[in-house]
């Protein structure tokens, strides 16, 4: 039985394990999420190599009897030093890794998950501070498609009327569904809706998501969006993801 395996891997999380070892979680292109023990004290070369956001070739020894995995080597191919140079990039990238871990690496389509995760981190590595939140929204919107939970923003869930091209829609955070203003019971002022239950989706949000959804993450850095619409977009995508995960993740508030 073959016990040594080689993966293309992205480091998601590292935690101390015992006195001098560490546990590391990876997203791999071949098998999704994988956990391996990194042996060695403070002087181990793996201290610097095995660190979140790093991507490279991973060598793992698998003990089939104990079903435990041990890292035997890691050759970093992408360090993404730009992410650590900037607080906003670091917080945003950290929040993205949280989502990948909490959703078990998307649960099945590893090559797509792998491509999406790495292209998003590459875009963040070079991003202006102001673009970080747009890249985050793009990632959650793309990840929602991968998980099969991305809603259509074209139709009301109740009357199934097509959304007016110039009109707003409303996302119900409890039901995870989109409504037209009439079915949501809004006549004039959407600001009067109970906060927390509804997310107002103006035309700008729907246009922006439509423009970037089939493009690489770098497009989200290029296409700007006004602050109010960006707030609506973040509220929508985090609500969708919270519905899938059963909770909101703490890192989302730091993006
Ligand atoms: Zn309706």
pLDDT of 188 reads: 67
Helix (H) or strand (E) holding 56: strand 55-63
- Find tokens 């602050």 and name the residue: 227
pLDDT of 41 reads: 74
The Å distance, Cα 167 to ligand 1 centre, comes to 12
The Å distance, Cα 206 to ligand 1 centre, comes to 17
The Å distance, Cα 155 to ligand 1 centre, comes to 8
pLDDT tens per residue across all 255 residues of the chain: 568 999 999 999 999 998 889 999 999 999 999 999 999 877 788 989 999 999 999 999 999 899 899 999 999 999 999 999 999 999 999 999 999 999 999 888 999 999 999 999 999 999 999 999 999 999 999 999 999 999 988 888 888 777 766 678 999 999 999 998 888 887 666 667 777 789 999 999 999 999 999 999 999 999 999 999 999 999 999 999 999 999 999 999 999
Instruction: Please compute Rg for the chain using Cα positions.
Output: 21
The Å distance, Cα 200 to ligand 1 centre, comes to 14
The Å distance, Cα 198 to ligand 1 centre, comes to 14
The Å distance, Cα 161 to ligand 1 centre, comes to 6
The Å distance, Cα 24 to ligand 1 centre, comes to 48
The Å distance, Cα 178 to ligand 1 centre, comes to 9
In CATH terms, is domain 4-78 a member of 3.40.190.10? no
The 3-state DSSP composition of the chain as helix, strand, coil percent (nearest 5) reads: 45, 25, 35
Q: Is 22 helix (H, G, I), strand (E, B) or coil?
A: strand
Q: What are the angstrom distances between the C-alpha of 120 and each of 51, 115, 125, 130, 216?
A: 17, 8, 9, 15, 8
pLDDT of 252 reads: 96
Question: How many CA atoms lie less than 13 Å away from 23 in the CB half-sphere?
Answer: 9
The Å distance, Cα 153 to ligand 1 centre, comes to 12
Contacts of 231 (CB under 8 A, 6+ apart): none
pLDDT of 165 reads: 66
The Å distance, Cα 227 to ligand 1 centre, comes to 27
CB 27 within 8 A of CB 114: yes
Q: What is the pTM of this model?
A: 0.94
- Find tokens 């590459």 and name the residue: 122
The Å distance, Cα 231 to ligand 1 centre, comes to 23
Around ion ligand 1, residues with a beta carbon closer than 5 Å are 156, 158-159, 180, 183
The Å distance, Cα 47 to ligand 1 centre, comes to 55
Q: What are the angstrom distances between the C-alpha of 78 and each of 49, 119, 158?
A: 10, 11, 47
The Å distance, Cα 237 to ligand 1 centre, comes to 21
């Amino acid at each position: 039985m073959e016990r040594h395996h080689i993966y293309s891997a992205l480091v998601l999380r590292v935690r101390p394990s015992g006195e001098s070892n560490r546990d590391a979680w990876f997203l791999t292109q071949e098998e999704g999420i994988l956990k391996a023990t990194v042996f060695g004290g403070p002087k181990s070369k793996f201290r610097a190599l095995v660190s979140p956001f790093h991507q490279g070739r991973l060598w793992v020894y698998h003990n089939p009897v104990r079903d435990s995995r041990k890292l035997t080597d890691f050759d970093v191919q992408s360090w993404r030093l730009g992410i650590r140079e900037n607080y906003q990039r670091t917080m945003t990238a950290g929040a993205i890794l949280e989502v990948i871990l909490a959703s078990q690496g998307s649960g099945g389509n590893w090559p797509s998950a792998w491509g999406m995760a790495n292209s998003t981190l590459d875009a963040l590595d070079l991003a202006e501070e102001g673009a970080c939140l747009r890249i985050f929204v793009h990632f959650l919107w793309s990840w929602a498609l991968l998980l099969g939970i991305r809603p259509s923003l074209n139709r009301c869930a109740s009357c199934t009327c097509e959304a007016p091209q110039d009109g707003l829609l409303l996302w119900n955070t409890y039901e995870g569904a989109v409504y037209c203003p009439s079915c949501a019971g809004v006549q004039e002022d959407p600001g009067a809706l109970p906060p927390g239950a509804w997310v107002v989706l103006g035309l700008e949000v729907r246009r922006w998501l439509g423009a970037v959804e089939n493009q690489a993450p770098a497009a989200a850095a290029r296409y700007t969006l006004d602050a109010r619409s960006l707030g609506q977009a973040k509220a929508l995508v985090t609500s969708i993801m919270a519905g899938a995960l059963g909770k909101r993740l703490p890192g989302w508030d730091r993006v």
